[in-house]
Amino acid sequence: ELVLTQSPATLSLSPGERATLSCRASQSFSSRYLVWYLQKPGQAPRLLIYGTSTRATGIPDRFTGSGSGTDFTLTISRLEPEDFAVYYCQHYPGSPPYTFGQGTKLEIK
């Protein structure tokens, strides 16, 4: 069973700073299958990035996804106030299960 471990659990930064979120898998998989979502309190998750590095429609270019094998990273170049949320990575392969990481909470310092 594949496990995704996100770190850190909580990241405290200020607007304008750079954020780096990690997602590490217990076994290697294709970069086609790594997805990132963000979720704000009381809201549904929102698709951010799929295929490790392709931004979803309407996602600004300050969000960058990278990685391969077992190590994947979401970088937010200059934090805006609306970026403070919980971020989840997901393994979304051709067949289930579709495993989520436990999330990284990005909070305002």
Binding site for other proteins (CB under 8 A): 32-33, 35, 37, 39, 43-47, 50-51, 56, 88, 90, 92, 94-103
To the nearest whole angstrom, how small is the minimum distance from the Cβ of residue 36 to other proteins? 9
Nearer to other proteins by Cβ, of 60 and 97: the residue is: 97
To the nearest whole angstrom, how small is the minimum distance from the Cβ of residue 20 to other proteins? 20
- Helix (H) / strand (E) containing 57: none
Which residue in 32, 41, 42, 43 sits closest to 90, CA to CA?
32
To the nearest whole angstrom, how small is the minimum distance from the Cβ of residue 95 to other proteins? 7
Per DSSP bridges, beta strands 104-108 and 86-91 are antiparallel
Question: How far is 76 from 98, CA to CA, in rounded Å?
Answer: 24
